Amino acid sequence: MTTFSSIPAAARPAATDSIVFGMGCFWGAEKRMAAIPGVLDVESGYANGEIAGTYEAVLAHERMLQWGKSTRRNHAEVVKVTFDPARVDVEHVLIQFWESHNPTQGDRQGNDVGSNYRSAVYTHGDAQQAIARKTRDTYQAALTAAGRGTITTEIAPLESYFTAEEYHQDYLVKNPNGYCGLGGTGVKYPQVEGAAAPTA
């Protein structure tokens, strides 16, 4: 997979943007988001918790929460999506996010259960917050019409972020038969009027 760091400096876009998503296990999320034309890099990480930003710390803290031995917030497993806004806008990136997992499940995704697997959109700036909320409301209307549940996705500013360990990066590229718990809801996001598709 081509990553932003592997693109020669002269070929990199003048401006980039990024947004952070929690979609359950970051392995499948990374693969889904990397497939969007205009996305330059997808990095697995941990975000918006109050503990150390390592895989072992996240798993250990989730056990502590389940045993009632801590009230500190755990990190979510997330992917940081860096994209070229001249080729794909944040709205299209968010649409792929909503369609690629089940945002109604709360603290779980597929077989993965725990607050570290919560659905989340972690943003920078008021504009991203507004677009995230707008797309959530649009997708909720589509889910409701299809008889599905209520979106539980947390939408909040990105407060802390830690890059995941190297063995988690591009996991499904390195391990094509690896686990991916993302199934989505099967409900398509309503077509965006007058919006251009992402360019390859």
Q: Which of 25, 29, 42, 51 is catalytic?
A: 25
Active site residue 180: no
Nearest Cα to Cα of residue 82 among 23, 125, 39: 39
Nearest Cα to Cα of residue 118 among 19, 21, 20, 22: 22
Tokens 């930003």 -> residue: 53
Cβ contact 45:33 at 8 Å: no
Amino acid at 160: S
Residues β-bridged to residue 23: 119
Q: b/e for 63-82, b at 16 or more Cβ within 10 A?
A: eebeeeebeeebbbbbbbbb
State the alpha helices, DSSP H only, in 67-179. 90-100, 126-145, 171-174
Query: Whole-angstrom Cα distance, residue 187 to residue 1?
Result: 28
Task: Give the residue numbers marked as catalytic.
Answer: 25
